[in-house]
Amino acid sequence: MANDTVVFHPGQIVPASGIYRCDDAGSHAYESTDVKGHRFPPLPHGCGGTGWVLEKAAAHH
């Protein structure tokens, strides 16, 4: 994970729609598709990280 990567914690408001992944570098790619304005879900069982990081922002047309 890059030093400038922003980690969002469960329960925080999602700042931008997109696909977020567990910040545990060793995890098995736990992902969540989240919508701007909603709250981040709890981390899945097996994710050893502390929060969610943006993997891919949603495209807006």
pLDDT tens string 3-48: 568 999 999 999 999 999 999 866 567 999 999 999 999 999 888 8
Domain that holds residue 39: 1-61
Dihedral over alpha carbons 42, 45, 48, 51 (to 10 degrees): -10
pLDDT value, residue 3: 53
Q: How far apart are CA 25 and CA 49, in angstroms?
A: 8
Higher-pLDDT residue of 19 and 2 is 19
pLDDT value, residue 58: 92
pLDDT value, residue 24: 87
What is the tally of structural domains in the chain?
Answer: 1
pLDDT value, residue 4: 65
Instruction: Please say if the pLDDT value at position 2 is more than 70.
Output: no
